[in-house]
Structures are given as C-alpha cells and as structure tokens.
C-alpha cells in the first residue's frame, strides 16, 4: 500500500506542476513561439533561438522564461520519479518479459529527466545572453531525446495501466 501512496503523491505532484507550468508559461506563447518555452527547447539553430528570445525581450518576458525554466526543474523531479516508480511498480506484477521492458523504461524515465536538466541548462545560457550554436543544438538534441523517451514510457505506461490494479 505504501508504494501506491507514493505513486499517488508523485502523480498528483506531476499534475500540479503541469498546471503551474501551463499557467506560468502562458505569456511565453507568441507569434514566433507558438508552443511557448517548448519553442525555444526545439529551436535547433541560433537564428531560431535568437528570434524567439528577441520577441520575449521586446515583450519583457525574458525573466518569465528564466523563471519558467527554473520551475521546470521541480517538474522534472516529479515526472521522472513518477514514471520511474510507476514502471518499476508494474514490472513486479508483470510476466518476466514485460517486467524487463518496464524496468528498462523506468530507467528511460530517469534518463529523460537528465536530458531535461541538460536542455534547461542550455536554455538558461541562451536566455541569459549566450545564444551559441552549441547551446541551441544541444538544447534541441536533448529535447528530442527527452520527448522520444517520454513518448515510449508514457505509451507503455498507458498500455499497462490495468496492471496497476492487478492483485499479485
């Protein structure tokens, strides 16, 4: 029962942080950053990143973007630990082959969190005036890896949601 309580706490923390991030990040949605902060995450070149950052500077939103990125660090803790714990928990209740996949994806959730930390570091560098091709490319690269890992983990988690309620 303690494991399910931990999962519930991590899940609620994840949902709460999603709400906070959406509320806090809403002003960052502009004509050049239609996806808000995610637009900067996926700006592969210095040109794309500079256009977004210049728009935010004109609208006095740079500090908002910096704060949003710092808030994201709390979100990373919640979502990475929730997905890790969930995948590990269901692995115990699954057939050996499925449990192995779940344990692998549990580690993928932590890896996605690490990618998000590196991506945030690169974005903070850009937001604080160091828009280099390395920062833009690394932010993009780690965002793509993160999103790919998270899609796999979330898809597997949803497909195996029934396992959470199985007695065993």
Report the chain's terminal Cα–Cα distance, integer Å: 12
Q: What is the DSSP string of the chain?
A: -HHHHHHHHHHHHHHHHHHHHHHHHGGG-BTTBTTTHHHHHT--SHHHHHHHHHHHHHTT-HHHHHHHHHHHHHHHHHHHHHHHHHHHHHHHHS-HHHHHHHHHHHHHHHHHHHHHHHHHHHHHHHHTT---HHHHHHHHHHHHHHHHHHHHHHHHHHHTGGGGG---
Distance between CA atoms of residues 99 and 90, nearest Å: 7
Contact 87, 106 (CB under 8 A): yes
Q: What is the mean pLDDT of the chain?
A: 95
Average pLDDT over residues 69-76: 97
pLDDT, tens digit, for every residue of 122-156? 999 999 999 999 999 999 999 999 999 999 999 99
By percentage, how much of the chain surpasses pLDDT 90? 92
The pLDDT of residue 163 is above 90: no
Query: Positive or negative, the Cα torsion across 122, 46, 149, 63?
Result: positive
- Per-residue confidence at 1, pLDDT binned at 50, 70, 90? low
pLDDT, tens digit, for every residue of 90-120? 999 999 999 999 999 999 999 999 999 999 9
- Per-residue confidence at 164, pLDDT binned at 50, 70, 90? confident
């Amino acid at each position: 029962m303690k494991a399910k309580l931990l999962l519930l706490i991590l899940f609620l923390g994840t949902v709460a942080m999603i709400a906070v991030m959406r509320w806090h990040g809403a002003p960052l949605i502009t004509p050049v950053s239609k996806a808000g902060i995610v637009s900067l995450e996926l700006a592969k070149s210095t040109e794309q990143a500079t256009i977004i950052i210049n728009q935010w500077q004109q609208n006095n939103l740079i500090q908002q973007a910096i704060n949003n990125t710092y808030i994201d660090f709390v979100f990373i803790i919640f979502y990475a630990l929730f997905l890790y714990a969930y995948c590990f928990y269901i692995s115990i209740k699954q057939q050996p082959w499925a449990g192995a996949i779940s344990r692998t994806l549990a580690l993928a959730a932590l890896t996605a969190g690490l990618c998000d930390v590196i991506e945030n570091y690169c974005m903070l560098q850009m937001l604080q005036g160091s828009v280099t091709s390395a920062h833009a490319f690394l932010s993009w690269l780690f965002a793509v890896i993160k999103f790919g890992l998270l899609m796999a983990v979330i898809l597997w988690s949803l497909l195996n949601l029934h396992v959470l309620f199985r007695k065993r």
